[in-house]
Amino acid sequence: MSTLLAPARVAALPRFVGSSLIGQLELNRHQYLRATLTERAGRQTISIARWKQTPTGERRCGQSLEFGAHRAAAVVQLLKEVLRAIEARGEGAENG
């Protein structure tokens, strides 16, 4: 079975003000997925969003996924089910 994220392409990055940048996954030379951990009202929230490098800097673009940190294991299971469904269709899954 294919892995969801290629470890060599995921980088741990420094902290952001108000939230911790957990890491990012390069999609191509201009776009990447960024995962952050933020505390809101005493609860930890994970956000995974697509970011784009532009001539004027970085900007968030496209869809994002946010969920309570206590649900992280369930979200991983959901993504594994999606990957299994893709592989069952014979379409394969890219590692990066």
The domain tally of the chain equals: 1
Query: Residue 23: which domain range?
Result: 18-90
Residue 31 lies inside a defined structural domain of this protein: yes
Q: What is the pLDDT of residues 16-40, one digit of tens each?
A: 447 888 899 999 999 999 999 998 8
Residue 9 lies inside a defined structural domain of this protein: no
pLDDT of residue 14: 46
Residue 29 lies inside a defined structural domain of this protein: yes
CA–centroid distance for 85 within its chain: 19
- Residue 93's pLDDT band (cuts 50, 70, 90): low
Residue 84 lies inside a defined structural domain of this protein: yes
Indicate which CATH number applies to the domain containing 38.
3.10.450.700
Residue 25 to residue 34: CA distance in whole angstroms = 7
Q: What is the pLDDT of residues 28-77, one digit of tens each?
A: 999 999 999 998 888 899 999 999 998 998 999 988 999 999 999 999 99
* Tokens standing for residue 48: 């995974």
pLDDT of residue 16: 47
